[in-house]
Each structure stands twice: as C-alpha cells, then as structure tokens.
C-alpha cells in the first residue's frame, strides 16, 4: 500500500523483487511497471530530510533497473518487474505496420487507416522461470 510507504520501504521492495529474479537465475535488465497511483509518489523526495534524489531516481540507481513505466490499467498496489530479454518477453508481429486505403463519396474522398497487430509473448525456461516478479 503506497499510502504508508516511505522511500526506503519502496526501494527495499524493489531490491527484494530484484533478488527474487536473481534467485530464479534472471539477471536483468529490468523494467518496473507501476500503477498510476504510484506515479506521483515516486517523484517525492527519497529522504524525509530534503535530499537531492527522488524515489524514482533512487530506484533507477539500482543496477539492472533500466526504466520505470506507468500502466494505467494495472491493479492498485501491484508492481511488476520484468526482465527485458528475448528469452523472457518478445514482440510477436502478427500483421506488419501498413496503411489501408478505401474510397468513399463515389470516389471523391480517399480514407486511410494505419493498422498493425503486435502482441507480447511471455516465455519461460525449462524450469518454469519466466523472469517476471509481481509484488502485490
């Protein structure tokens, strides 16, 4: 619950998530996904005494954590850490990016849409380790 979390507690949680990934032989690089309720919290000062770092900056100083992304559809009080390598998650392109054109108004107007179908594929190794850590 972010309402009671301090900067130190948040960083401790991220470090615990990283350690859980390392225990499953997943070594990064990592992206941390957060719900929108956490977005502004991470921009607060890391320390209660006026410091030079925000909580976000402190998390990004952790080796292997490359980015923090906000997901507006993520459940409250849930944080996900994902190892961003092709053996964990990759993009599957089902329909390459392309423009579609059609005419309307008796051929007097041309309409265009750009379409694509791309989905993430989550993968696991032989032991079932998938490189995704969920904190909720």
Pick the more confident residue, 5 or 136: 136
Neighbouring-strand partners of residue 89: 122
pLDDT at position 1, please?
63
Which residues, including other chains, have CB under 8 Å from residue 26's CB and lie 6 or more apart? 83, 88, 129, 131
Q: How distant, in Å, are the alpha carbons of 12, 62, 78, 94 from that of 65?
A: 14, 6, 17, 29
Evaluate if residue 125 carries a pLDDT over 70: yes
pLDDT at position 22, please?
92
pLDDT for 35-89, tens place per residue?
988 888 888 877 766 667 888 888 999 999 999 999 999 888 899 999 998 888 8
pLDDT at position 51, please?
66
Beta pairing, strands 132-135 & 79-83:
antiparallel
Neighbouring-strand partners of residue 68: 32
pLDDT at position 49, please?
66
């Amino acid at each position: 619950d972010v309402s009671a979390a301090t900067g130190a507690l948040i960083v401790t949680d991220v470090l615990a998530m990283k350690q859980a990934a390392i225990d499953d032989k997943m070594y990064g690089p990592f992206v941390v996904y957060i719900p929108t309720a956490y977005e502004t919290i991470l921009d607060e000062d890391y320390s209660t005494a006026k410091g030079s770092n925000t909580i976000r900056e402190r998390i990004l100083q952790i080796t292997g954590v490359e980015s923090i992304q906000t997901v507006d559809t993520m459940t409250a009080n849930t944080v996900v850490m994902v190892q961003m390598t092709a053996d964990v998650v990759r993009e599957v392109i089902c329909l390459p990016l392309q423009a579609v054109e059609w005419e309307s108004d008796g051929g007097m107007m041309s309409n265009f849409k750009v379409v694509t179908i791309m989905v993430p594929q989550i993968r696991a190794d032989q032991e079932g380790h998938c490189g995704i850590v969920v904190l909720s």
